[in-house]
Amino acid sequence: MNIFMIAGAISGASGLLVFLTIHHFWIKPIWFILPPGLIIAGLGGLAVGWAYQELLPHLPPRPWTALAVVALIAVILLPAIVLAERRGQIFDFDIKPGGAFLISTGQAVRIFVLNLALTSIVVGALAGWLIAHTSRAAFATGLAGLIFAIGPGHNIPFLGGTPAAWKGVALLLAIVIASAIVLVETQNFLTQRSLP
């Protein structure tokens, strides 16, 4: 494992902690997901770290690097957010405890796969290609887009068209900003420490 992947794993864990902390105070406590969440966030962070390694030579220097990473993630997730808002509500939080789908499970899965996962992969891969002009960067950034979609962005299709959509976007933005800063600064710190 290299410095970028370590920084990515730490970034993923920090994003999870930001998510759980905000969720605790703003929505409701869900700390029970911390143990499996750390594993998932850490593994997802490895992919994000790899994408960052591929893109870093083509990103602006610090302190603008974290802002560029935030902008990249926003571009990757924006199509899913727009599609969710245009489509309207598919999940009702008030029908019963825990909420319920207003469409069939098959339709919900199709929306999740096509409108969230696929758009994030395609836009991520395209962004990686446009930034670094390599197939490795395209693949790594497409994978990182998928990780952000099914990780922090997993609720995008289900919150679209609901009053809670703005909360979901605000929470997602907080996670992305924190993760990007931790990614950039941890990689920089580890690189500086490894220099002779």
pLDDT digits (tens, 9 = 90+) for 115-156: 999 999 999 999 999 999 999 999 999 999 999 899 888 889
pLDDT on residue 163: 82
**Is residue 195 scored above 80 in pLDDT?**
no
**Residue 1 — very low, low, confident or very high, per pLDDT cuts 50/70/90?**
low
Burial class (CB in 10 A: 0-12, 13-18, 19+), 52: buried
What distance in Å separates the CA atoms of residue 136 and residue 59, rounded to the nearest whole number? 16
* pLDDT attached to residue 162: 83
pLDDT of residue 158: 85
- Residue-level pLDDT at 103: 85
Does pLDDT of 86 surpass 80? yes
pLDDT digits (tens, 9 = 90+) for 17-73: 999 999 999 988 999 999 999 999 998 999 999 999 999 999 999 989 999 999 999
**Structure confidence at residue 179 as a pLDDT band (50, 70, 90):** very high
The first and second tokens of residue 122, run together, are 């395609």
pTM of the predicted structure, to 2 decimals: 0.90
Spans of all domains in the chain? 3-194
Name the most confidently modeled range: 21-30, 36-45, 89-98, 181-190: 181-190
- Would you state the pLDDT for residue 147? 92
User: Cα torsion at 183, 186, 190, 193 (round to 10°)?
Assistant: 150
Residues 50, 132: contact at Cβ < 8 Å? Answer: no
Q: What is the pLDDT of residue 37?
A: 92
Q: Token pair for residue 194? A: 């490894």
